[in-house]
Every structure is written in structure tokens, then in C-alpha cells.
Structure 1
């Protein structure tokens, strides 16, 4: 799917898709969350009981890895469940980047297999107050906590191309981040035990997951996905994301940049252009050109990479508007020079 918004001469976006605004289903799609404390799991019973997804704890801080992770995570996948890993934050021990690194290296990395959801940052009330002497916010200020979460989610995004899911409670988020609104791109996994999700943290208008019970009817915690099963699968297998920007550098030089901001490599991108205003194309490295027309075939733009195309023209006149019309997929942009 390709969609675009044209801003003359400057900026176009194609196929930018997120999951923070999924449509709400009446009952949601049921799933579970498990950890080492859950023990051995009969995953066939989970699927026969209607479960469609599972979250498995991978890590905590920078010194704990769930010893049952491989068995639980692999078992969920083997049973046909969509699965994801989660990291239990200890923000007083080390910075967000370090804990994201540890998570990525110990089971939290996202893979493009159609079955793996983005990783989860589990950040909530400090459960070890009697041991570490910290308050519910781990003795971090609101500003420092927001910075910590930013560091974690930024590192995860850079490493995987995905926005980490954030698991939290509304009360903790309000108290410990000052109800920050800076994480709208991260899907919310809301923890609130009861019959209704209730009030959401201010960053989000809808929850993506909801943990409604500490002990659910299947195994581990009771959870639901706020959408359809097809939308759940789309969270594990999202479309590519490409950002296309263009500029008229002068009356003779025009650039088009393809930036891959999504999780997948993008291949075989066709870029076509036509000069206007009484000029012709005289140079276009890596492309074919003739007269006013130019055609480029970009073999691949890897995740996190950019490709810039440069077109040089020879105007026939020194005054009046000149430029190029450029098409990428179904999206068009106009680059003008006065």
C-alpha cells in the first residue's frame, strides 16, 4: 500500500504505518504473558483455549535473563502463537541504552518472521523497595525517568526499526513521568486488573494490549489485543516504510532522497521525472535520461539507509519558473525553482 501527501518542492511520505491507533474489537484477541515463575507451559492448551499471542520475559536490568526463555519463547512459536519478549526495567541500576542493549542481546531483538512482535519495555512500580530502598519511581525525577525511557526506546528503534511496546499502569505513568506525552509512537500495553481498561496515560488515546488479570484463564497473566487477529499479525509483520524528500537546489540541480525508516529492506523502487519550464536533463548518475525525461530503478534501500538521486538540467531561459515533476510509486512531488 502506498499513500502520500504532497508539499510542493519539499516533502512526501509513502507507506508510513503504525499500530498505536488500532481499531477496537468488542472482546479483543486473547493472549498470555509468562516468565520463569510460570514454569513449564502446555502451549497446546493455550492455543486450544483460544490464546493467540504470548509475551515472554527475557531480561531484567543488565544481569538477569529468564532461564526458561528459550523453552517458553520457542514453545509459543511452535504452537503457532504470535510472540514477543519483554524487559523488566530497573532504571536506577543503569541507563536506558545499556538495558536496551542487554535486552536486544538476550532475546529481545525483533526478527522479520511474521510471528514476532516488537519487544516490550515493562516499566512500573518498583517491586524491590524493601531490598533497594528506592521509592515507586526508583528515586528518579520525572525528567530523568522520561529521559531513561527515551534512551531505551530510541536504542530499540535504531536496532530493529520497530517502536518498542510500553507496558505500564496509568497511575505509575502519571506519578513517575508526569504523565508524559512523548511516547505516542510506542504501542501501549496497559496494566489494569478489572473489567475495564479505565483512564489511559496521556501519551495514548487507545491501548494496543490490556492486561486485565494477574492470573488469566489460560496461563500466566490474562491479556487481550485491542483489535482483530489480522491486525495482531500485522503488528508482527508490518509494511515497509519509506520517506521520500526532494529539493530544487538551484535552477539546474534537483535532488530526491529515499529514506528507509521502517523495519524491512525496500527493493526495486522506480523513480521517474520530467523537467518543465523549457529545460532538458543533461546528467543523472545511475539513471537513464533523454530530453526532459529521466527514469531510475533503485535496486534496494536497506533499513536505516538513504539513497539520494541528483538530476542536472540545462535551462533554455534565465527567467521564469523551472523545475521537475517526480513520481515514486503512486506519489508525486513537484520541485520548483523561480
Structure 2
């Protein structure tokens, strides 16, 4: 973008270019190409008008393509994905990512999607230019803002195996974006996995105030269970199931809660419902076995614990089985 009236000459192997109060793009892949968006450009004795492009050193002149549409698409793990639409005549796209007024990535895209791997924790924006059959870059799309969340995805990838390592990344993520409900919820989960329940609780509550998602709410219910706040945990799980009856995590969590409240028959029913849908659901046989033991059904409970140990060698399962041998 050139706004100053100072005379300027750009020298290229194909000849000189003299911009006159001009907004333009120059690119070189093979031959140099010029796209002019505003103002005029002197190419020797010729003046190129706004809205046209030229392949320098040739007679090729072309009206520039209109801007494409850029739409966010469902993202992959740690990636930001955009869908590129039109215009007619496009043979590909040039895509730019900017942050803080600087271009941090420029890439040519041949397909209809652009996938960006976050490089930092920051606000950024993407815009695209359609390329015609000469490789001329058309008018830019409207910029689409997005958040780069590198620390969030680094931390999330470490859970549940390394909650302490995840905590450091997630704290950086929350420091940059204090309203990121997902990052706050994952930070709470990292603290929960370390047994730091009192620290995790206010984070879960803050995350839910920002984003009332079933995943965050189910994990909050599990935290309340460990805090022995069984009545509150039951309310949380029932709220999730009212909105999503097929949520197996909430159904299993509710089975654990009602069992702790002394309602073994109800816990048995809930655990069997989970088992019927997903026979390999972790620890559901353990929950069902505990409910059956409360009802005096020792042999069936023992068979369930043995089956659970084959799938999941959990120390709690092993300890309960040892007590009823």
C-alpha cells in the first residue's frame, strides 16, 4: 500500500514499475506478476488501471478475480481450518495469516480448504486471494479473525497422562485468553487429576459460566462426587441427561452418585444401561459390581470384577476383588 506522493520506481528483471498512489501486489513464481487494486501503475509508457493485473514482460493483461469467501470449518486437533469458496475462474488461492499487523504466514492453496497450525498464543486473522490461470492474485477477501491457541492444544494433548505438564501449558493459555472456557475447563481437569479438588472447583464454575457444555459439566459432576457433594453431583448429571439422554459419561457418573447415596438398585439399572450400549466402557462393571454387592449378589459381582480386570487392570478393581474372594 503506497500513500506518499514521493516518486518511486520498482525495478524488476522484466522492467520498471512506477506506482502512483497505489495499492498493489507483486509476486514472483517464474515470471513476475502484478495485481493492482487502487490507483495506477506506469509500465513503461503504458498505465495499468485499477482492477487489472499484468504478467510483467509480456502483453498479458487481465481483469482481477473478485474476492473469495473464507469460512471457518470444523477444526482438527490443534488446527484451525477454513473453507475457501469461489469465485468462478479460480485456479487456486493465496492465503495470508496476519497478527499484530504483520504477515506470519503466506501460502498457496490448491484445494478448497486451508489448514493452519497455530504457532503462538495470539489474535490473528486470515484472508485469501483467488488465483486465475495466469497466477494473478485477485482482490482480497474480508479478513476473518481467529484465536491461535498453541498452549491450549499442547496442554490438552498431555491429558490425562501428564496433568502436571499439561497444567503449565494451560496456565499460559488462560493468561493470554482469560475468557477461554475450554482452556479453563482443561486446567481444572489437570488439577482434578492431581487431586487438587478445591483449586479445580472454582475453575470449573468459571468455565461453566462462560460455556455450559456437557463435557465440562460432566467433569464438574465427577469433581463434586470426589468432594462428597453427592446431592449437587446428582443434580449436575441429571441436568446433562435431560439435554442429552445418550450421554454415557453422565449416566455412569449418576450411577456412582446414587450408589454413594445408598440407592443400589437404581445404580445397578444405570450401570446396566451403560453396559448395554458400550460393553467396554471403563469401570462400568466395577460400578455394577459394587451395586450388586450391596444387594448381596456376590457371585455375579465377582464375575464382573474379573471381566473388568481383563479389560482394565485398575488397582481399585483388584482391591475390591481381593476383599470378596
Question: TM-score w.r.t. structure 2 length?
Answer: 0.21
Structure showing greater relative contact order (alpha-carbon pairs closer than 8 Å, 6 or more residues apart)? 1
Q: Which entry has the higher C-alpha Rg, 1 or 2? A: 2
Which structure shows the bigger proportion of residues in helix conformation? 2
Which structure shows the bigger proportion of residues in strand conformation? 1
Question: TM-score w.r.t. structure 1 length?
Answer: 0.20
